[in-house]
């Protein structure tokens, strides 16, 4: 029944008897009718629980915001460990940070580059002796199939000195100098390809990667799943090269844009990775893991606030792709 406003002479019928209301009673009824009905109390909305930090198999890991550099996740992030072929990120950084670098400069492939691969049992881009490849091609060869022969060629080209040994030694010194310049006190290199006692912390390696990703050429190279190119061969003909990226996160995790794998017995499986979704970019590091891609996917999901790891299907690599 709808409530109506009573006047001073309002009446109520009870049990069939008409009762006259007193002025005071009428005024009280008026006040009650004018008061809005109380609204039911609103139930408190449940608070969205914060996303749980991921559990990763890696012995060391770090995740940074690619724009601000803020740390988003870490596991023994400041403990130095072997970094295997992820050391080639620094090789590329030294080359690309060289003032006036000519990426189209042709570099003759020396037999000693191939011999080094055989002697060290290192991964290779299978560069052929006498071919002339460009600096740009050497970057693809070093970062996609993780060619130690290509890393050697870059160190030999950008180092200084009358002999190959002196040039590569001076290039490694440049790698260490660049680490100091970038504020990476726990990062050190003894080789140009990561087969020595090269080491860094997960956090510092992620910082190095974040710096490297500021370079357009580096970003283009590390997000490439397959590179095909040609070079003048020693016999005057044309050599055709195809290099596949060993990073299986590319083409598997939505938004993945790089960066570099690495594997040695002391280092275990390593991965430096990056992904972009919308206007957010994340850069991370995995050191010594038995499941590096799942670790990386978990960390990226954590950073993006998503949950796609369970459905991750890793890209299959061609049979002739080096394992790194």
Q: Which of 252-256, 270-274, 282-286, 318-322 has the lowest mean pLDDT?
A: 318-322
Q: Determine the Cα–Cα distance for residues 23 and 134; give it in Å rounded to an integer.
A: 104
Q: What integer pLDDT is reported at residue 50 of this predicted model? A: 57
User: Is the Cβ–Cβ distance between 172 and 155 less than 8 Å?
Assistant: yes
Beta-bridge partner residues of 82: 199
User: Is the Cβ–Cβ distance between 288 and 81 less than 8 Å?
Assistant: yes
pLDDT score of 40 more than 70: no
Share of residues in the chain with pLDDT > 90 (%): 83
pLDDT score of 236 more than 60: yes
Q: Determine the Cα–Cα distance for residues 236 and 49; give it in Å rounded to an integer.
A: 66
pLDDT score of 25 more than 90: no
Q: What integer pLDDT is reported at residue 51 of this predicted model? A: 80
Q: Determine the Cα–Cα distance for residues 229 and 239; give it in Å rounded to an integer.
A: 8
What Rg do the C-alpha atoms of the chain give, in angstroms?
33
Beta-bridge partner residues of 62: 74, 285
* Helical (H) or strand (E) element with 304: helix 292-304
Contacts of 87 (CB under 8 A, 6+ apart): 175, 189, 191, 192, 193, 194, 198, 262
Give me the active site residues, please. Answer: 85, 88, 146
Q: What is the pTM of this model?
A: 0.84
Enter the tokens of residue 55.
């559990």
pLDDT score of 23 more than 60: no
Q: Determine the Cα–Cα distance for residues 274 and 143; give it in Å rounded to an integer.
A: 14
User: Is the Cβ–Cβ distance between 237 and 243 less than 8 Å?
Assistant: no
Sign of dihedral through CA atoms 239, 240, 246, 249?
positive
Q: How confident is the model at residue 49 (pLDDT cuts 50, 70, 90)?
A: very low
Q: Determine the Cα–Cα distance for residues 191 and 198; give it in Å rounded to an integer.
A: 7
Q: Which long-range contacts (CB under 8 A, 24 or more apart) does 45-50 make?
A: none
Q: What integer pLDDT is reported at residue 109 of this predicted model? A: 98
Q: What integer pLDDT is reported at residue 322 of this predicted model? A: 86
pLDDT score of 217 more than 50: yes
Q: Determine the Cα–Cα distance for residues 93 and 115; give it in Å rounded to an integer.
A: 25
3-state secondary structure of 65: strand
């Amino acid at each position: 029944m709808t409530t109506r406003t009573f006047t001073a002479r309002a009446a109520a019928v009870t049990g069939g008897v008409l009762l006259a209301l007193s002025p005071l009673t009428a005024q009280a009824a008026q006040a009650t009718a004018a008061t809005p009905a109380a609204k039911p109390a609103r139930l408190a909305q449940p608070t969205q629980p914060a996303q749980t930090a991921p559990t990763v198999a890696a012995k060391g890991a770090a995740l940074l915001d690619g724009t601000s550099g803020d740390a988003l996740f870490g596991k023994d992030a400041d403990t130095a460990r072997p970094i295997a072929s992820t050391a080639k990120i620094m090789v590329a950084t030294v080359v690309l940070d060289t003032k006036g670098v000519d990426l189209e400069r042709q570099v003759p492939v020396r037999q000693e580059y191939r011999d080094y691969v055989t002697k060290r049992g290192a991964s290779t881009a299978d560069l052929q002796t006498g071919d002339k490849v460009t600096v740009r091609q050497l970057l693809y060869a070093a970062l996609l199939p993780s060619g130690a022969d290509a890393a050697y060629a870059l160190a030999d080209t950008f180092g200084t000195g009358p002999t190959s040994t002196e040039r590569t030694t001076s290039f490694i010194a440049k790698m260490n100098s660049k680490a100091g310049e970038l504020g990476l006190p726990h990062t050190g290199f003894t080789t140009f390809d990561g087969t020595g006692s090269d080491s860094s912390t997960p956090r510092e390696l992620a910082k190095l990667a974040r710096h490297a990703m500021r370079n357009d050429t580096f970003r283009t190279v590390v997000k490439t799943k397959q590179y095909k190119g040609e070079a003048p061969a020693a016999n005057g003909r044309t050599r055709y090269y195809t290099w596949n990226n060993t990073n299986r996160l590319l083409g598997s995790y939505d938004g993945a844009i790089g960066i570099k794998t690495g594997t040695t017995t002391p280092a275990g499986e390593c991965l430096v990775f990056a992904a972009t979704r919308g206007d957010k970019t994340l850069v991370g590091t995995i050191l010594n893991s038995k499941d590096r891609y799942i670790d990386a996917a978990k960390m990226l999901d954590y950073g993006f606030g998503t949950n796609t790891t369970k459905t991750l299907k890793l890209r299959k690599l061609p049979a002739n792709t080096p394992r790194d």
